[in-house]
Amino acid sequence: MTTPAPTKPSPAAAGRRSSLEILRDAARNNMRQYGMLIALALIVLLFQVWTGGTLLLPNNVSNLIQQNGYILILAIGMMMVIIAGHIDLSVGSLAAFVGAMTAVMMVRHDMPWVLALVLGLLIGAAAGAWQGFWIAYVGIPSFIVTLAGMLLFRGATQIVLEGQSVSPFPQGYQQLAQGFIPEMGPYTQYHNPTLVLGAVVLVVVLLQQWRDRRRQLAYELEPLPFNLWVLKCAAFAVAIVAVTMTLASYRGVPLVLLILCALLLTLGYIMRNAVFGRHVYALGGNKAAAKLSGVRDRRVTFLVFVNMGVLAALAGCLYAARLNAATPQAGLMFELEAIAAAFIGGASMSGGVGRVLGAVIGGLVLGVLNNGMSLVGIGTDYQQVIKGLVLLAAVGFDVWNKRRAGS
């Protein structure tokens, strides 16, 4: 009795199996990236229903961006620090110190606000270089150095302000955190420059998606099946159009959002495409292997903390501009918010993993939670409990993902 020869699967069946495998691999490889994005969408949907539509009203969306802009800026810098395998506990105190210094320069010494802002950023860079020196070249752990920095800059803030608030600020300085891009063109029901910016962003994103797909095909990589790729592009387009129309229905794009987008594009490109960004990932992933490969670990670590210092200074200036005052208690808990945003956005405790965009997504998750819970009347005590659980779940997901990948 002869055994029948196994039947060869049809090309159509093989194609279907290949598509499913590609989809499965894509979902597995991008789970960290898209999982939190889906979670953000679900949180927004939940509070949109719970608040009776208040969450996504144009004025509340603009307020949400302005309220959380400084935390998102800190989260971007913190993500880079964590990717490099370090931590920074001083960013809140440094933000308060720089905000106090710029306030004193403008209010007590009548310095032009532009010059005060530039000097404030330079102070932040110097503070980051000070801490980066001890961490990179002396070898003291970043936890200890930045803990000392947290105490140092908090005390310096008290000394500079002499225990009192300093205000008011020039109008131009306030507009950095409170202003919107000006209206131009003929009168319409929407903010014209915002519509133009939204159209530009839409075209750029779709072209980037098309270029990425062509590059994958050129290098004989396996892209998403065409139907799923079209669905992905459509989802991006719907999100961009929705945000554009929401902002254009009120006063347009907040200046804080422009600053945030500029940082996101610049630092995102550096981390993805520049040699420095690759060295940051290599250093956080395996420091010994990175040094053997020629990575100048001390220089990279030093520059990461200089960058964090500049971003902390910028966040401190924006926070002071939003309050129209520099206060001794500014910046409290900012470092914990930034660290939580980075981990929720996909950073790993072991370093070497994370994306700049993920830090923004993590910060938005916290911001939407804060705003939504306030709108529905949940007290700050319960808000802290919920945010703690969200952070624990995000880190737990990272641990589970690593174990699954290693099995």
- CB environment 66-85: b (16+ within 10 A), e (fewer): bbbbbbbbbbbbbbbbbbbb
**Pick from 75-89, 131-145, 222-236: least confident:** 222-236
* In a shared domain, residues 83 and 210: no
* In a shared domain, residues 303 and 159: yes
What pLDDT was estimated at residue 16? Answer: 44
Q: Is residue 16 part of a domain?
A: no
Q: Is residue 245 part of a domain?
A: yes
* In a shared domain, residues 45 and 193: no
pLDDT in tens, 295-340: 999 999 999 999 999 999 999 999 999 999 999 999 999 999 999 9
Average pLDDT, stretch 35-60?
89
Reading the block at residue 355, the tokens are 């994306």
CATH of the domain at 382: 1.10.3470
Q: Is residue 303 part of a domain?
A: yes
What pLDDT was estimated at residue 222? Answer: 76
Q: Is residue 269 part of a domain?
A: no
Q: Is residue 79 part of a domain?
A: yes
Q: Is residue 7 part of a domain?
A: no
CB 76, CB 266: distance < 8 Å? no
Q: Is the peptide bond before 168 cis (omega within 30 degrees of 0)?
A: yes
**Phi, psi angles (nearest 5°) of residue 136:** -80, -45
* In a shared domain, residues 152 and 52: yes
pLDDT in tens, 191-205: 999 999 999 999 999
pTM: 0.89
* In a shared domain, residues 307 and 368: yes
Decide which of 222, 253, 284 is a domain's last residue: 253
* In a shared domain, residues 90 and 230: no
* In a shared domain, residues 205 and 92: no
Identify the domain containing residue 237 by its residue range: 180-253
Please give the tally of structural domains in the chain: 2
Q: Is residue 335 part of a domain?
A: yes
Q: How confident is the model at residue 379 (pLDDT cuts 50, 70, 90)?
A: confident
For the range 47-52, what are the long-range contacts, defined as Cβ-Cβ under 8 Å and sequence gap of 24 or more? 47/368, 47/371, 47/372, 47/373, 47/375, 47/376, 50/372, 50/376, 51/372, 51/375, 51/376
Q: Is residue 22 part of a domain?
A: no
* In a shared domain, residues 282 and 337: yes
* In a shared domain, residues 280 and 233: no
CA 244, CA 197: separation in Å to the nearest integer? 8
Q: How confident is the model at residue 33 (pLDDT cuts 50, 70, 90)?
A: low
From the list 84, 64, 91, the residue with the least C-alpha distance to 295 is 84
CB 106, CB 169: distance < 8 Å? yes
What pLDDT was estimated at residue 36? Answer: 80
What pLDDT was estimated at residue 11? Answer: 44
Decide which of 193, 218, 253 is a domain's last residue: 253
| pLDDT surpasses 90 at 264 | yes
Q: How confident is the model at residue 13 (pLDDT cuts 50, 70, 90)?
A: very low
| pLDDT surpasses 90 at 35 | no
* In a shared domain, residues 295 and 162: yes
